[in-house]
């Protein structure tokens, strides 16, 4: 790789280390992502990575290795081509091979998957998986209670890392930072959320509904602080803290509200897939919260 490619890969790897753990937990259960499991070339243990789903037809699945043979899973496949693929919660075994990227096959992918090579690609390649006829046995790890196991990791590891990036202005405008007051401790609690800033109103969509800790904090004390950039570049890039009052709207259609807020914002729509998957896994109803921001 060139020095520029090495820098880009380093940035991408930092981003994926933060994003992949929560994405991996829901990827095999959504229509946009799958989970690819390879065998570590050095450790010999299973290694899983969420990838954008490609076309699957006649027992052949196609995926994109955005960083081509530089990707760890591609090097694992070179050492052992036997893989497993989780599609809609079901595991399939198969044999993988790396193929050159060609426009004809690439056009069969959806727009989201095609965006990867354009935005983050470093020598991108195609990944062909010839699936076995019989589905693979589901691993013990994919049992009920996944949300309960995921949330502690998200709250104690992922959220502080992402929140720190947002606070320093290093995160994309898709995300914002909210600060509530703990209902039991009285301490300030910060949480990264999708950026729903719209003028003097901030829209929050809670995937876990009123089960979410920050929602219960807001129900006890509706005063909140928000740090966000304008959602659209045309409105500027300045990021600052603003105070406001939160109003849960249980009668609002949270899914329709999210679609409205996501118009022209692919990153926000992508976050919505995670929210809907989280709500489905937890068996909860998504909740809209309107925050009326103070003036000045």
Alpha carbon distance, N-terminus to C-terminus of the chain: 49
Residue 142 pLDDT > 70:
no
Residue 115 sits at φ, ψ, to 5 deg, of: -70, -30
CB 197 within 8 Å of CB 227: no
State which residues form the domain around 202.
Answer: 146-293
State what percent of residues in the chain have pLDDT above 90. 34
pLDDT at 261: 87
Tell me: do 96 and 217 sit in the same domain: no
Residue 32 pLDDT > 60:
yes
Distance of CA 49 to the CA centre of its chain: 12
Tell me: do 131 and 229 sit in the same domain: no
pTM score, whole prediction: 0.52
- From 161, 195, 203, select the one nearest 177 (Cα to Cα): 195
141 compared with 63, residue with greater pLDDT: 63
The mean per-residue pLDDT over the stretch 159-171 comes to: 79
Q: How far apart are CA 191 and CA 126, in angstroms?
A: 37
Tell me: do 12 and 121 sit in the same domain: yes
Tell me: do 127 and 178 sit in the same domain: no
User: Tens digit of pLDDT for each residue in 242-287?
Assistant: 999 999 999 999 989 988 888 888 878 877 777 777 777 666 788 9
The mean per-residue pLDDT over the stretch 224-250 comes to: 82
Q: How far apart are CA 87 and CA 85, in angstroms?
A: 6
Q: How far apart are CA 208 and CA 280, in angstroms?
A: 9
- Helical segments of the chain, H only: 3-27, 72-79, 103-106, 111-120, 146-153, 159-167, 213-220, 254-261, 266-282
Tell me: do 102 and 173 sit in the same domain: no
CATH of the domain at 265: 2.30.110.10
Tell me: do 101 and 210 sit in the same domain: no
User: Tens digit of pLDDT for each residue in 90-106?
Assistant: 889 999 999 999 989 99
The verdict on residue 24 lying in a domain is no
User: Tens digit of pLDDT for each residue in 99-136?
Assistant: 999 989 998 988 888 888 888 888 899 999 999 976 55
Backbone CA torsion sign across 261, 266, 268, 272: positive
Task: Select from 109, 135, 161 the last residue of a domain.
Answer: 135
Indicate the number of domains in the chain. 2
């Amino acid at each position: 790789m060139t020095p520029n490619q090495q820098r880009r890969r380093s940035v991408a790897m930092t981003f994926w280390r933060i994003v992949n753990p929560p994405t991996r937990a829901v990827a095999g259960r959504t229509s946009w992502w799958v989970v690819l499991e390879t065998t570590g070339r050095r450790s010999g243990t299973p290694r899983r990575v969420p990838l954008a789903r490609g076309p699957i037809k006649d027992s052949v699945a196609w995926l994109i290795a955005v960083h081509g043979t530089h990707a760890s899973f591609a090097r694992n496949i070179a050492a052992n081509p036997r893989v497993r693929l989780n599609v809609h919660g079901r595991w399939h075994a198969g044999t993988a091979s790396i193929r050159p990227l060609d426009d004809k096959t690439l056009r069969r992918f959806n727009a989201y998957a095609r965006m990867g090579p354009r935005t983050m690609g470093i020598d991108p390649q195609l990944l062909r998986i010839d699936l076995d006829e019989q589905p693979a046995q589901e691993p013990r790890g994919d049992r009920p209670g996944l949300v309960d196991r995921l949330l502690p990791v998200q709250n104690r590891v992922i959220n502080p890392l992402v929140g720190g990036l947002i606070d320093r202005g290093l995160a994309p405008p898709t995300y914002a930072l909210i600060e509530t007051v703990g209902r039991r401790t009285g301490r300030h609690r910060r949480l990264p959320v999708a950026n729903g800033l719209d003028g003097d109103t901030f829209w929050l969509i809670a995937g876990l509904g009123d089960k979410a800790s920050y929602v219960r904090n807001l129900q006890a004390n509706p005063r909140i602080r928000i740090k966000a950039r304008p959602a659209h570049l045309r409105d500027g890039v300045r990021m600052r803290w603003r105070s406001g009052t939160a109003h849960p709207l249980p009668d609002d259609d949270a899914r329709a509200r999210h679609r409205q807020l996501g118009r022209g914002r692919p990153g926000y729509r992508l976050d919505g897939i995670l929210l809907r998957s989280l709500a489905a896994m937890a068996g909860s109803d998504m909740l809209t919260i309107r925050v009326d921001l103070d003036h000045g």
